[in-house]
Chain A
């Protein structure tokens, strides 16, 4: 038994499900976590203790080795997602907080690491599968996982029949709502792909160690501007009818088995990262409701849970509601989640959505990640945002890879480059390239030289769509501190922005695509957007 987990739990006074208490609890969680017992680290953060991934592997291996009759078996845990996961409604975040929290507790137990907390994957910072997630049992193509549907069915047929016999009427009602009234329905859904959800090795994950990048479209959906747009959503959940914003947590629905509308967070980073894990062929557990078979599922949802925390703290700092209000809060709070198990394999006592409104339920916090700048510092009321301004560059050299670096110069008032408030829109350079089909896979650097000074790297551009042609605009954030020394705020600062090809990665096969040719892409337009 993981003593530290239960010690931490008993230290805390879990609140009742009353609306007022719930709201108070959520607001208190809005403050930076003080003294949380467990920290969830971003997987590429140098500060993450090496034991985290070792413990995760050890726990996964133990769960894979559990009997198929044990609720703590790795695949049995994934079944919970099929049985009960809410999507396209306002319980999306709370249910997944519970799901990863209970898995984390079980891994802590099985690994023997009393300090274990799941890592998370900040795909905005690192838009590719972290290299560590191809090691050992962190990759579902590893031999410790069941390789074929036939073997899977042979192991789980009888245990699933036995499991079905244990379901309460309330659980059966949930399953019926989801089209899973019988074990026959279950096996129809969990058939071998493409008809069903089971992706046989080596298609258990579509992205690979040699091709780990999220595709270009998905990179856009996890980009900082999209994440900031999601975090600036003012409401927790929109109406079911659909004439307002869907809300940060997605829109209201009458039960967590119903579909309503997805907000930006669910429809952009969440859905697209799931889809991108299928790679070019679209094959992976992650594209299906059996997605928790892939250990990266819990890192993906960890980041979404972190962003919920960022949004909650932002809302609290701005004096805005962090949860539904009034009767909506009562309806949201009382929704029942009936399929979770604790590290002992027993049904959990906390079955209400309200139990998972705050991170204190599992006593963790997150190392800082993308979007954190959207939380205003404590202080007086935030001033209204200035209007966004756009400035176009004069393109002086269009062909990338030619002797003169491609790009141009844009004149920007010094005032527009001054340090900005955390809630202000980011300053960006929008670079439009005319691309051809042979540009797929190419990478470029975007360099900015303020006032004729040394170039500063602003970001990279990767051409990853499998359909590439015509003008395509890439948004690159401008560095916060450009070192501008203009005479006054009204003076114009020349920003020289250049797009240069990246050399091939070491060890990559030679390719003429990386040389300047007559078909090299053209820089069509550069716009600097400031506030």
Chain B
């Protein structure tokens, strides 16, 4: 039976730790390290556990150069916690690292970096894909 491999699991409520020099006014950049390269036949997924987001808000995820990876829009609106999955192209992992931009978009407000309570956990998961 194939084993699923957890590459990297980051962070429970320590978002400020990521910030420092990587902080932008309207987004947060984080870097996840991969202990090994995903092989042919593997898929890479990013699992994101979010806390409460303002009504109508969504968390967007993109690579450093702006390529969109996906978004977390809790359904129903107002859900207190959500664990979503976003596929990550293997090409987005460069030199064993995924540099990830996180941004919260909410109606009637400027885009902003997520607050610590809003992103509670990030896991990069490598799993065999169906092919």
Interface residues of B in 62-79 (CB under 8 A from A): 63, 65-68, 70-77
Contact B111 A318 (CB under 8 A): no
Which residue of B26, B55, B89 is within 8 Å of A194 (Cβ)? B55
Q: Is there a chain A Cβ closer than 8 Å to B52's Cβ?
A: no
Q: What residues of chain A lie closer than 8 Å to B77, measured between beta carbons? A: 275, 278, 282, 287-288
Contact B55 A229 (CB under 8 A): no
Known: A245-B85, A467-B111. A217 touches B45 (CB 8 A): no
The stretch from A61-69, A125-133, A379-387 touching chain B is A379-387
Known: A246-B45, A390-B91, A529-B91. A271 touches B72 (CB 8 A): yes
Q: What residues of chain A lie closer than 8 Å to B68, measured between beta carbons? A: 217, 220, 472-473
Interface residues of B in 81-98 (CB under 8 A from A): 81-87, 89-91
Contact A282 B85 (CB under 8 A): no
Of all chain B residues, the one with the shortest Cβ separation from A260 is B83
Interface residues of B in 1-59 (CB under 8 A from A): 4, 6, 26, 40-41, 43, 45, 47, 55-58
Q: What residues of chain B lie closer than 8 Å to A259, measured between beta carbons? A: 81, 83
Of all chain B residues, the one with the shortest Cβ separation from A228 is B87
Q: Separation in Å of the B122 CB from the closest CB of chain A?
A: 12
Contact B66 A472 (CB under 8 A): yes
Q: What residues of chain B lie closer than 8 Å to A465, measured between beta carbons? A: 105
Q: Is there a chain B Cβ closer than 8 Å to A520's Cβ?
A: no
Which residue of A231, A263, A387, A472 is within 8 Å of B85 (Cβ)? A263
Contact A245 B83 (CB under 8 A): no
Q: Is there a chain B Cβ closer than 8 Å to A51's Cβ?
A: no
* Tier of interface size on chain A: 35 or more
Residue from B84, B86, B123, B125 whose CB has the most chain A CB atoms within 10 Å: B84
Q: Is there a chain B Cβ closer than 8 Å to A91's Cβ?
A: no
Complex Cα spacing A344 to B55, Å: 38
Of all chain A residues, the one with the shortest Cβ separation from B67 is A473
Which residue of B55, B65, B108, B127 is within 8 Å of A432 (Cβ)? B65
Contact B73 A245 (CB under 8 A): no
**Residue positions of A touching B, CB distance < 8 A:** 87-88, 194, 197, 217-218, 220-221, 225-226, 229-235, 238, 242-246, 259-264, 267-268, 270-272, 274-276, 278, 280-283, 287-289, 291, 314-315, 318, 320, 382, 384-385, 387-388, 390, 423, 430, 432, 465-467, 470-473, 475, 525, 529
With A194-B55, A473-B63 given, can you name 12 additional A-B contacts, CB distance below 8 Å? A225-B89, A232-B131, A233-B43, A234-B127, A234-B130, A235-B127, A262-B82, A275-B58, A278-B56, A282-B57, A467-B26, A525-B65
Task: Please name 30 pairs of A and B residues whose Cβ atoms are closer than 8 Å in the assembled complex, sorted by A.
Answer: A218-B73, A225-B87, A226-B87, A230-B87, A233-B130, A234-B127, A234-B130, A235-B127, A238-B4, A242-B83, A243-B4, A244-B4, A245-B45, A245-B85, A259-B83, A268-B71, A268-B86, A268-B87, A271-B72, A271-B84, A275-B56, A278-B56, A281-B107, A282-B55, A282-B106, A385-B40, A388-B90, A472-B66, A473-B65, A473-B68
